Structure 1
Amino acid sequence: MLAELAPGAPELASAESFHAGVILAGTPVVIRSLCADLPAAQAARASARAALDHVLSFDTGRRPQVFLGDPAIGGRYYYSDDLSGFNFTRVELPLAQAFAHMLRHADDPSAPTAYLGSLVAPAYLPGFAEANAVPIVPPQVEARLWIGNPSTAATHYDAYENLACVLAGARRFTLYPPDAIGDLYVGPIDHTMAGQPASLATASADPERYPRFAAARDRAITVDLAAGDALFLPKLWWHQVEATAPVNVMLNYWWDATAIGPDAPLLAMLLSMIAIAERPEAERAAFRAFFDHYVFRPDGHPLAHLPEDRRGVLREIKGAGYGPIRAMVLRALRGG
């Protein structure tokens, strides 16, 4: 069971209070009715068509990429059976045409489904974000829209904090903590449906092929969101997302709320893969000890035994130390 916040909770007073009271805790939180009063959500209460018309009122005519799925896939946009391709097609369509596909399927479930994901509002729908602002999100963070028929987004993680607000329809999130990664049987990291690698086990009912998934399944948390509700997810939490109404609209925001510079943690992990992952076991164990000491710091600051003014670039990495360390890395990568 996840913690829930109701309207008027002090953590929702501002972006700063949300950061201090929710984000830094590092656990998912359900926020009921957070977006219920947004104009887009109000339009959705009239009808699905009204919800889509509200979005279209900001349309500039750009053609986003849309997923189209045969009715046989049941809205589960996923890999082909041999993982070489996918079970849907990608096309570029005007928004009005994409929405017509969605409404056609809503009236006739035998029609193909349509799904439009990660639509950057400022680029495609200027003014939408300002008209539907969520005060707990920093103003510089881009709003994105996810619109479509019933669909299932395969279990994946995001590299950023994620605030997801249901504007129309309903969403079911199935969550797994970051340390469930070994039990989820993750697919390739460079051949993905929408950017992030996905779990293969959560889309399969084959316990012989994925025996460890039982441990992850026992830890799964299911969250149902109605129109107006929101979910906050910290970075690296695994989640499957099911849109369950004939037409669904979700607003989301991604941002790295704890960054101290421009470098992403997952880039460091990728570099570590080619630098360390296939060295001998004893050597990997030695580097694990160094990573624990300098990076994960279970015992506190690695130079706590030195006076602060003798800790060099490690005195305060998010202050004066960030730039010199970054310069050292760049010089090494350039071979300087």
Structure 2
Amino acid sequence: MICTTDRTDVFNDTPRVREVAWRHEECDLSEISASSVPVIVRGFVEDWPAVKAARSSLSDFFDYLHRFDRGAVVPISAGPAKLDGRLFYNDDMTGVNVDRGNATFTMFLDRVFKFGPQTPPPLIYLASTDVDEVLPGFRVENDLEFGDLDPLRSVWIGTHTRVAAHNDLPLNLACVVAGKRRFTLFPPDQTPNLYVGPFELTPAGRPISLVDFAAPDTVRFPRFEEAVKHAQIADLDEGDALFIPSMWWHHVEATGQVNMLVNYWWRTVPKHLGTPQDVLNHAMMTLRDLPPEEKKAWRHMFDHYVFNYNGTEVDQVPEHIQGILGPITPEVSASVRAFLRDRLDRRES
């Protein structure tokens, strides 16, 4: 067990994430989403009524959220105070260290506001759930305009929690409604130094770092010291927002008595292109264990057709038969998916 008093802050001298001070009415979100590094937007949603209620008092915030409560059944994680808020694996990594189940949002909210102010509090957590399902009508008063984009809008509510470092494919704009949040971020090239766990069995759908940031075991995870050198810290208050570029690793700690975050996930490429994670998973299965010379040959193929592709690679192929060599239209994507399904089915039979 790691208690709060046992912590060793290895991030004391870590650089802070770059800050800007735009109000969302004045900001073109394309300016933020074009950034290749994380960006803090101070006071971005400070005019949301939910933020104002959270700043007023716990009782005002409780009353405000209950205005939108329609008794939705939601997935809940719960654990004892000795976890110090950490959502992780159980001791033998066959499952998670919290109890999971469903409850009405009414019951969940009552328990968060009852036990959140305790010292230390138990872990009670609602993660990444569609805002409209949990709080219908909330976005009428608390939302951002994304133009032609249609982001996934998720809500996160709980007591003190610590979510292990992970990355996400979509772009992410995380808006703090209640409590305080610290994001510890790493660029994608720090993956080898974060000691990532299994891909299939994960606490929340994405592979996570196995390092406990509150008490890093540098004997077991010696390369983590190198990762720390590349880290950035974002300390957010109510009303602040953080933009996280695709695939940046981020550890998240919520430290208020009652914490709430609304985040927006979106991609700038068409949905029919699919997800690179599927490609990585399949490549690990089919390429990773090849003999060295074969892997070298396939590296050249990937460089030519994927990573260094500039469009001239198919000049010699007539346009009407280019298929996947040419532009990936919805029709081409559907054809390739059917082709892949057929190939995979044949190998399994």
TM-score in same-fold range (> 0.5)? yes
Deviation larger for 233-242 or 72-81: 72-81
The one-letter code matched in structure 1 to 2:305 is: Y
Pairwise CA distance, 1:76: 1.3
Deviation larger for 95-104 or 205-214: 95-104
Q: What's the secondary structure of 2:343's corresponding residue? A: helix
- 2:283 maps to which of 267, 272, 277: 272
Question: 1:163, 1:254 within 8 Å by CA — same for their partners in 2?
Answer: yes
Pairwise CA distance, 1:96: 2.4
Pairwise CA distance, 1:11: 8.0
User: For residue 220 of structure 1, what is the aligned residue in structure 2?
Assistant: 231
User: For residue 38 of structure 2, what is the aligned residue in structure 1?
Assistant: 28
- 1:152 maps to which of 162, 167, 173: 162
User: For residue 258 of structure 2, what is the aligned residue in structure 1?
Assistant: 247
Pairwise CA distance, 1:226: 0.8
After TM superposition, the runs of 4+ consecutive aligned structure 1 residues lying more than 4 A away are 8-11, 304-311, 318-321
Q: What's the secondary structure of 1:145's corresponding residue? A: strand
Pairwise CA distance, 1:281: 1.9
What's the TM-score, normalizing by structure 2? 0.85
Query: Distance in 1 between the 2:148 and 2:123 partners?
Result: 34
- 1:238 maps to which of 249, 269, 272: 249
Q: What's the secondary structure of 2:126's corresponding residue? A: strand
Residues 37-76 of structure 1: per-residue CA shift (max 9 Å, x gap)? 1121121121123223322221221221211121111111
| Percent identity (aligned) | 34
The one-letter code matched in structure 2 to 1:293 is: H
User: For residue 190 of structure 1, what is the aligned residue in structure 2?
Assistant: 200
Query: Distance in 1 between the 2:341 and 2:33 partners?
Result: 31
Query: Distance in 1 between the 2:280 and 2:54 partners?
Result: 42
- Going from structure 1 to structure 2, the CA distance change for 1:96 and 1:322 (only over 3 Å counts) comes to closer
Pairwise CA distance, 1:32: 1.3
Pairwise CA distance, 1:219: 0.5
User: For residue 3 of structure 2, what is the aligned residue in structure 1?
Assistant: none
The one-letter code matched in structure 2 to 1:234 is: P
Question: 1:169, 1:246 within 8 Å by CA — same for their partners in 2?
Answer: yes
User: For residue 126 of structure 1, what is the aligned residue in structure 2?
Assistant: 136
Question: 2:24, 2:45 within 8 Å by CA — same for their partners in 1?
Answer: no
Q: What's the secondary structure of 2:236's corresponding residue? A: strand
Query: Distance in 2 between the 1:9 and 1:133 partners?
Result: 10
Query: Distance in 2 between the 1:320 and 1:238 partners?
Result: 34
Question: 2:76, 2:126 within 8 Å by CA — same for their partners in 1?
Answer: yes
Question: 1:164, 1:252 within 8 Å by CA — same for their partners in 2?
Answer: yes
Pairwise CA distance, 1:28: 1.7
- Going from structure 1 to structure 2, the CA distance change for 1:307 and 1:24 (only over 3 Å counts) comes to farther
Query: Distance in 2 between the 1:8 and 1:50 partners?
Result: 24
User: For residue 295 of structure 2, what is the aligned residue in structure 1?
Assistant: 284
Residues 270-310 of structure 1: per-residue CA shift (max 9 Å, x gap)? 1212221221122112111111111111x633517658858
Pairwise CA distance, 1:100: 2.3
- Going from structure 1 to structure 2, the CA distance change for 1:276 and 1:302 (only over 3 Å counts) comes to farther
User: For residue 88 of structure 2, what is the aligned residue in structure 1?
Assistant: 78
Deviation larger for 219-228 or 41-50: 41-50
Q: What's the secondary structure of 1:245's corresponding residue? A: coil
Query: Distance in 2 between the 1:181 and 1:150 partners?
Result: 26
Q: What's the secondary structure of 2:164's corresponding residue? A: strand
Question: 1:144, 1:251 within 8 Å by CA — same for their partners in 2?
Answer: yes
Q: What's the secondary structure of 2:116's corresponding residue? A: helix
- Going from structure 1 to structure 2, the CA distance change for 1:230 and 1:111 (only over 3 Å counts) comes to closer
Matches within 5 A, 1:1-336: 1-7=16-22, 12-13=27-28, 18-19=29-30, 21-136=31-146, 140-203=150-213, 204-259=215-270, 261-297=272-308, 300-301=310-311, 303=313, 306=316, 309=319, 312-313=322-323, 314-318=325-329, 321-335=332-346
Question: 1:41, 1:228 within 8 Å by CA — same for their partners in 2?
Answer: yes
Q: What's the secondary structure of 2:310's corresponding residue? A: coil
Deviation larger for 131-140 or 33-42: 131-140
Question: 2:55, 2:178 within 8 Å by CA — same for their partners in 1?
Answer: yes
Residues 89-142 of structure 1: per-residue CA shift (max 9 Å, x gap)? 123222222222222223322552311111211222222223211124756323
The one-letter code matched in structure 1 to 2:18 is: A
Query: Distance in 1 between the 2:54 and 2:316 partners?
Result: 60
Query: Distance in 2 between the 1:107 and 1:225 partners?
Result: 20
Count of residues paired in the alignment: 330
Question: 1:166, 1:227 within 8 Å by CA — same for their partners in 2?
Answer: yes
